């Protein structure tokens, strides 16, 4: 595969747009969960990203929070497990996790 400047530019441009879009989505989720309290919008946006394989530990913990609000124990545990160390930022989830994992 011959690498051309235009090809490299297009890849960098697409990566930049994807990164900015993801950051915007995370900011919206944080706003919905912690400021303007719109749990449905937060949940819908989390699921959209997860279902499209766009995620990291932060999104996993926000998805766990959404499932926690929906009283879905299994999904909350699943996403807490995926979030790894991010759960430690939210004491209520740590307590919840300890309660259901033991």
Q: What is the pLDDT of residues 71-99, one digit of tens each?
A: 999 999 999 999 999 999 999 999 999 99
Residue 65 confidence (pLDDT) above 80: yes
What gap in Å lies between CA 47 and CA 42, rounded to an integer? 9
Report d(CA 58, CA 39) in Å as an integer: 16
Q: What is the pLDDT of residues 2-56, one digit of tens each?
A: 567 788 888 899 999 999 999 999 999 999 999 989 999 999 999 999 999 999 9
Residue 1 banded pLDDT, cuts 50, 70, 90? very low
């Amino acid at each position: 595969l011959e690498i051309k400047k235009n090809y490299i530019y297009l890849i960098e441009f697409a990566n930049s747009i994807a990164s900015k879009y993801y950051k915007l989505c995370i900011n919206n989720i944080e706003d919905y969960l912690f400021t303007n309290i719109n749990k449905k919008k937060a949940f819908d946006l989390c699921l959209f990203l997860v279902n499209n394989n766009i995620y990291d530990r932060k999104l996993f913990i926000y998805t766990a929070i959404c499932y926690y609000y929906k009283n879905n124990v299994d999904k909350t545990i699943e996403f807490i497990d995926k979030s790894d160390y991010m759960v430690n930022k939210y004491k209520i989830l740590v307590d919840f996790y300890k309660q259901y994992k033991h």
